[in-house]
Amino acid sequence: MESHNVSNSLNQDMEKDQEKAFDYSKRAQWLRAAVLGANDGLVSTASLMMGVGAVKKDVKTMILSGFAGLVAGACSMAIGEFVSVYSQYDIEVAQMKRESGGQIEKDKLPSPMQAAAASSLAFSLGAIVPLLAAAFVKDYQVRVGVIVAAVTLALVMFGWLGAVLGKAPVVKSLVRVLFGGWLAMAVTFGMTKLIGSHGM
């Protein structure tokens, strides 16, 4: 009888440990997705502003282009995430019905609305960095320098967070993220400058 109680206790402890590990894994996935969303917002908005700034150097045009990128990107991320998670929701509901004879555990299902809101918010938080960096600088060259510096700092932070959450080597992750962000800005700036210089 005593050994049976000990066995039950051990099983319960193992189940609790598994639940904790699952909860941590789920939380880490959400945080990593949020970091990637913020990184997308940061790089795409900064690149857009740099590209437009290559042909239109006034601060108003750069800010408007960045704001348009923020709104369009946040809406796109929200819609994409909603559709993706809703598909996952339908699959999990169908699986639950097959396994439990029609019973659905709603607390275990993903929330498409929450996922859409989180994705949109993460993108917006990243996108606002270059907007704030450029907002109060009138001189074009200084403005570009401030944007690049602010984006670089944010890329380092997002790269470090992504590496920690993904349990990847920090230095390699930082190099990849920084190189990718700088390359996106440089290519967008160069291509827009090239097309703009030909009067298109």
Across the range 111-139, mean pLDDT stands at: 90
Confidence of residue 26 (pLDDT cuts 50, 70, 90): low
pLDDT digits (tens, 9 = 90+) for 51-108: 999 888 889 999 999 999 999 999 999 999 889 888 988 888 888 878 777 677 777 7
User: Rounded distance, CA 103 to CA 119, Å?
Assistant: 30
- Between 47 and 9, the higher pLDDT residue: 47
Instruction: Tell me the CA distances in angstroms from 6 to 13, 19, 180, one per residue in order.
Output: 11, 20, 54
CA 119 to chain centroid = 7
Question: Whole-model pTM?
Answer: 0.78
Which one-letter amino acid corresponds to residue 167? K
Per-residue tokens: 82: 């909603």
**Looking at the predicted structure, is the pLDDT value of residue 47 above 80?**
yes
User: Rounded distance, CA 122 to CA 147, Å?
Assistant: 19
- Between 18 and 178, the higher pLDDT residue: 178
Burial class (CB in 10 A: 0-12, 13-18, 19+), 159: buried
Per-residue tokens: 120: 């949109």
Other Cβ atoms closer than 10 A to 121: 17
Confidence of residue 199 (pLDDT cuts 50, 70, 90): low
Query: Given this model, what pLDDT does residue 4 score?
Result: 47
At CA 177, angle to CA 112 and CA 54, rounded to 5?
A: 95
Confidence of residue 35 (pLDDT cuts 50, 70, 90): confident
